[in-house]
Structure 1
Amino acid sequence: MGVRAAAAAALAVSVLVSAGCGSESLAAKEVTVDLSKLDTGNYPTKPQDPTTSDPATRARILEAVRLGNILPLASEIDPALSHNGSGTNVFTGPNSFDGYLNTDHFADDTPGFITGFATSGRPAEDVFVGYTLTNAVLIFDSDNSATSAANALARTGMVLEVPNTTSNPVQSSQHPTAQMIWAPAEQRLASWYPTGKFVIFTMVNQIENLVVENDLHVAPEPAPISVADKAIDVITDRLKNFQPTPLDKLAGLPLDPDRMLRLTLPRPAGDQTAAAFTGTLDQHGTLHIVGDTTVYKPLFEKTGMDLAGYGAGILVRTKDEASAQTFLDVTSTSRFKHRIEPPTGLPTAKCVKYHGPDDRAAPFTCYVTYGRYVATVWSQQQQDVYQRISAQYAILANNK
């Protein structure tokens, strides 16, 4: 990965779709779907209560989801950062930081680490416009573990892409206990701030200030400490509303408290589709996953969207059938999405093939509504996306 890509990177994995322009109406026709005619492959076709073969990891994921539901969006720290950066939001290891932080010693640096949630934002879809703000909160088993981890992670530091350059420690007068390092040649500031059982991680990527002259990287701007300070203040205030689950209670967190996952197409083993985790986010939590929050926030409010289940795709719940269709119309329309035929037997599905600038976007996506629900699935293969959307529709139809 080159320096510009590293400086612009928010997180590691591309997630969810961005709403785009267009006005095509996708109102469902009055048709009867014969479930027996659907090709669902090996995917399940009936609701099933979720189970797990790894209760410890699932408990950590559920705790991260709880955290995501209260953490601020980047746009709540700087309103200009309306476009969420792509990334791995729920994490139980160093995967969210690969590529721009040294993670080889993550386990050694973070004894007592339980789970975390990350979010990022930038001013535009183009990653080279403005700056990207990435925030993550890591939960630890004790205050001492959090403080020790913040110090250790700062010592391990960044991955530097520019040869023969270094990162330097800097200090915030507003948060003197924050461990901050600044890589001027890459215009990146990283900060680790311990507070109670939490470590607040912040990275500011000022890529628009990155100037290249005769292959030398010139950094005219000072470290953006004030941006990190603002992020720390807002996140710290939001964490007042979050009580970590005691370690001996983690295993008791319900797998499907809102009965949404039983209706969501389950993720096959090893599958990295959608947001790469299994769980349910509320309206606010889901805003971390979407593209342009200035589009999705009013859409969520207008349609009464209150929950999103993440499995082998995303299942969204709105307030009624008309709202579900409105939600589908907006989220499925983009100049980069070209309509293809729906799967056999499911004419109400909308399927598209992606032709656009995001090389991490899945080529095939299908959408369908059923009552108040909207389902979206992705795949690298057209037949697989057809089977996924058909199976997801069958699950909803078989919910008796």
Structure 2
Amino acid sequence: MRKLKTTIAVVTSVIAMTGCSSQVGGSAAPAEIDVRQLDTGKYPTRPLSEYSEFNPSFTFGRRLAAMRLADSLVLGQEVDPKLTFGSFESIDSGTPGVMSKAVVPALEPNNMLYGFATGNSDIKEFAVMSLAPGDESLADYLRNRKPTYFGLSVMQFPDATTAERAATEIERLDFDVAADLNIRVPLGKYPGAHSHWRPGVASMVSTLSHGSYVVNVQAGVAEAEADKLTDLIQRVFDAQLPRLDKLKPLSPVEVVKLTSDPERILERTLNPQKLSSPDARLFASYGLQGFLQTRRDLLQIQGLYKKVGADQFGRSWDSYIIRTRDTDAAQTLLDGMFVGDAYKPAEAPEKLTSVKCTENKDPMDEVKRFSCAVQYRRYVAYVQSQQLPDAHQRAAAQYAVLANSQ
């Protein structure tokens, strides 16, 4: 059986700061910090549009459409509260790495436009989307940990007829990988779903067309029990399909016309690379749902995000930004960040007031050793670095970008 693979204007002049090479904007508004006095080091302090212009293309449009779709994908915990660990992949080409090579021939010929995939598991070490097709020994080893999981891929096709044809072909190609071992399985609640499993193996795959969308689910439970597998897949469909009903499919022309930063969230984010090419992992904007797909480590504070009305999130390389309801809500969010045993208070940079720094006790790929968050009006942004002085300069530059983006 196939395995999923994978594996987030008050300025009027530009004045050079004494003692550093960065360019910092002009006078501050009343009661605001004069950003010309901040130590921003080598980092840019102006809005991104002053450095880089976004050029629409079908390639970029597919990436943006995939990010848009991420905001309509169900999180694992909405299906089962235990499924809090996960990963994601953007599907923005006709040969996505997240899909089994066996089913790729069903995608491009049917003009798949874009998609998004997430993995959801109750075991941190069980990376649903990291299993390459054919890695049977690795898959068997990981299944011995008896995880509960599902991998969810949603793809949009030009119309319902094409989507149904693609779903049928995906099932046929996937089933034929081990046609002598696989058996077809009906889903009582979803008679149009194409499903199969291999008896004795604790996983099942199901593919369903829903309007212009194709929804593909691979699910696993602790023991090889068909009833539990079909129940899990049906619960995924129950949670996912209503979300797709609310998301208007895009035509190829609409895909090309997508803008990279409609809410001007990335415009306000520190971007040391000065690059504006959309990327689901490195340069992207999401709503709360999509952001949590890309940052499962922040699931525990989603209640705080909802409390402060956080509705837009941006990632620009190692910088993040959050738009809240208003200034008071932004201050509440800042106060609630970096709280818990995983954080140790760190010295804050000079001259910044609404700022909070931490030393992360468990650094990893997504989280560097030091983080600093700054609040400006209704926005909270945070930066990361392996060195505290560098984190301070990034925080100062981020505040300047926020001030200079009004």
- When normalised by structure 1's length, the TM-score is 0.72
Q: How much is the aligned-residue C-alpha RMSD, in angstroms?
A: 4.1
2: CA distance, partners of 1:316 / 1:380: 22
Structure 2 match to 1:38? 39
Q: What pairs up with 1:1-400 in 2 under 5 angstroms?
A: 11-12=6-7, 32=33, 34-41=35-42, 43-49=43-49, 51-53=53-55, 55-78=57-80, 80-81=81-82, 83-88=84-89, 90-93=90-93, 98=98, 101-103=99-101, 106=104, 109-111=107-109, 112-123=111-122, 131-155=148-172, 157=174, 168-174=182-188, 175-182=190-197, 187-206=202-221, 208-209=222-223, 219=224, 224-266=229-271, 268=273, 276-291=281-296, 295-312=300-317, 313-342=319-348, 346=352, 348-356=354-362, 360-364=365-369, 365-379=371-385, 385-400=391-406
- The answer to whether the Cα contact below 8 Å between 1:136 and 1:200 also exists between their aligned partners in 2 is yes
Task: Indicate how the Cα distance of structure 1 residues 270 and 394 shifts in structure 2: closer, same or farther if over 3 A, else same.
Answer: closer
Q: Deviations over 1:306-341 (max 9, x none)?
A: 221232232101123332232233332232233444
- The answer to whether the Cα contact below 8 Å between 1:138 and 1:200 also exists between their aligned partners in 2 is yes
CA drift of 1:199 comes to 0.8
Between stretches 338-347 and 367-376, larger displacement belongs to: 338-347
Q: Deviations over 1:330-378 (max 9, x none)?
A: 332232233444456657543434343x854433333222222111234
CA drift of 1:92 comes to 1.0
- The answer to whether the Cα contact below 8 Å between 1:94 and 1:103 also exists between their aligned partners in 2 is no
2: CA distance, partners of 1:267 / 1:170: 52
CA drift of 1:167 comes to 6.6
- The answer to whether the Cα contact below 8 Å between 1:114 and 1:139 also exists between their aligned partners in 2 is yes
CA drift of 1:125 comes to 5.7
2: CA distance, partners of 1:318 / 1:10: 34
Structure number with larger C-alpha Rg? 2
CA drift of 1:276 comes to 0.7
1:224 is paired with a residue whose SS is helix
2: CA distance, partners of 1:32 / 1:44: 17
- The answer to whether the Cα contact below 8 Å between 1:116 and 1:136 also exists between their aligned partners in 2 is yes
Between stretches 337-346 and 130-139, larger displacement belongs to: 337-346
Percent identical residues: 25
2:54 is paired with a residue whose SS is coil
- The answer to whether the Cα contact below 8 Å between 2:103 and 2:174 also exists between their aligned partners in 1 is no
Task: Indicate how the Cα distance of structure 1 residues 299 and 94 shifts in structure 2: closer, same or farther if over 3 A, else same.
Answer: farther
Structure 2: 5+ residue stretches without partners: 9-30, 127-144
2: CA distance, partners of 1:184 / 1:308: 43
